[in-house]
Chain A
Amino acid sequence: MGKEGGKTVNIRQRREKAIRIAFFGVALASITTLGLIVLFLFMEGIPIFKEVSVHDFLFGKYWYPTDDPPDFGIFPLIAASISVTAVASIISIPLGVLTALYLAEAASYRVREWVKPIVELLAAIPSVVIGFFGMVVFAPFLQEILDIPTGLNLFNASLMLAFMSIPTICSISEDAIFSVPIELKEASLALGATHWETIWRVIIPASISGISTAIILGMSRAIGETMVVLMVAGGATLIPASLFDPVRPMPASIAAEMAEAPFRGDHYYALFATGIVLFAFTLLFNLLADHIAHKYRQVGAATL
């Protein structure tokens, strides 16, 4: 009897171990893939720095990769990416977070059940469709209304990117706000606070880490988005001086030029190096999101 029991335990333990190894293998596979992609990115990007110094690459004002002699300065591209993301955030953060607050706190059950899936559906629209809309519908409209030379510009691109990041921001913030424990809310109301005071003083602080994560994920989506900026940002390699200047963010430049850049030529290396810079930006965003999530982590019942 005892012997048999020992055997069962042994088999169970072995099975547990096998499952653990299998899971470890799966986790390792995805991490290894990611590692190899990063390695490849750096291997293909670093050689450009034999031709041009890091400083000249990052802060050079002229991008003429196919000229003889070429100029590899991506500062206009970096400036374009930052400005497009910043303007998109200014539009999408208030809209996304306020929609989330409304849905979680003010909306009736029925409205919430209807509106939330619709907002999330917005995330399912392919970016090329949003880009096409921006190019064919919104650009001529913008040009007509404001009487500007071209509707393909920083503002148009930012607005389209805001469309794309609102669902991310709204959906994740709403989850964070909705999962604030009811006890906290009840305690606040019981102390005589109004609904508004409860939202402002209790619910938002309790869900701030979730909201911040939502915002930063939304911004990552905006800075890495390619199709929309390729189609509607205009593509001029200028450092933008106005909201209505055409710009060329980094992903647009990579997408437009990579197909025909000679394999392992300087232009090819320069595009990969641009990819490294873009990667550095999204990495920074993710670290920031992680940092905020840790710093403002709630304890006790409000832990998310």
Chain B
Amino acid sequence: MKFKGFSVVTFAVALCLIASLAYAGNIVIKGSTTVLPIAQKVAEAYMKQHPDVKISISGGGSGNGIKALIDGSTDIADSSRFIKNKEIKLAVERGKYPVPFAVAYDCIVPVVHPSNSVTNITMAQLKDLYMGKTKNWKELGGPDRTVVVISRDTSSGTYEVWSKKVMKKERVFPGALLQASNGAIVQAVANNKNAVGYIGLGYMNDNVKPLMVNRIKGSLETTLNGSYPISRPLYMFTSGWPKGDTLKFINFVVHPQKGQKYVRDAGFVPLY
């Protein structure tokens, strides 16, 4: 009884929210912190062109974004992963049909000091490096130097990709150094001839040397054709095919000359 009353209230509140959103030209975006910088940059540009539209953006993680989409408390859910079967089932039960839009790709490249002679590495070798099993570059056909492993702080999206794609449920060993940003990793690797780190493709520069993974070079092309193993698409989900301002915004995000320009600025791989 109590629960029923509560759900009626929630429903009424949601209705009011949806109604007000439809009229005020507001877009609410919630979800993945990885997609957050893209959403922020694109939304800023969009609001400059459409001053009558207000976009409010918050993080909270992919799961929370999709939950909010199912609840109807957001128009767009940012997600760094595809929607799970469990979530689709829940959405359909509530009469919602989540529609995915790939908005960018995340491509993570292992980097070493330019003086390191190693050029290619396998996924298994990368995993051994980050588990602390490989201690010397000699074991990988490189110079006789101790390996210094540099990783990202555990709450970053970059770490998340690395942990899923490379580590596959194993932990990065405690002896790995930590840097708090992509830029800091570039700085640390450029200054240490023993180091190995990993960065988003957008942060690559000449001070560090990218490694090929399984003989495939991390680049825009190999990310887009899916052959490079350490990459993933990033999504925005809407509930049903988007309408009105939300549709205009999504079109803006995926437009090669508009939104996709900012994807590159945010350090990600654009769709085109």
- Residues on A facing B (Cβ under 8 Å): 62-67, 76, 135-136, 139-140, 143, 149-152, 230-231, 234-238, 246, 248, 252, 255-257, 259-263, 267
Contact = CB atoms under 8 A, between A and B. Distances in A.
B144 interface: no
Interface string B174-196: 11111110001001100110110
| Nearest 6 A/B pairs, CB to CB | A235-B178, A260-B155, A256-B180, A256-B153, A149-B146, A66-B154
A267 B61 CA distance: 13
27 contacts: A66-B154, A67-B154, A135-B188, A136-B187, A140-B191, A143-B192, A149-B145, A149-B146, A149-B147, A149-B148, A149-B194, A151-B191, A151-B192, A152-B188, A230-B180, A231-B184, A236-B174, A237-B174, A252-B178, A255-B180, A256-B178, A256-B180, A257-B155, A259-B155, A260-B33, A260-B157, A261-B155
Given A66-B154, A149-B148, A256-B153, A136 B191 contact: yes
Contacts, number: 78
B156 interface: yes
B50 interface: no
Given A135-B187, A149-B194, A150-B177, A257 B148 contact: no
B155 A236 contact: no
Nearest to B34: A260
A140 B190 CA distance: 10
B171 interface: yes
Contacts of A67: 154, 171
B60 interface: yes
Contacts of B160: 66
Q: How large is the interface on B (under 10, 10 to 19, 20 to 34, 35 or more residues)?
A: 20 to 34
B175 A238 contact: yes
Query: Chain A binding site: helix, strand, loop or mixed by DSSP?
Result: loop
A150 B155 contact: no
Contacts of B147: 149
B52 to A, nearest CB: 30
A262 B174 contact: no
B61 A262 contact: yes
B162 to A, nearest CB: 12
A143 B192 CA distance: 8
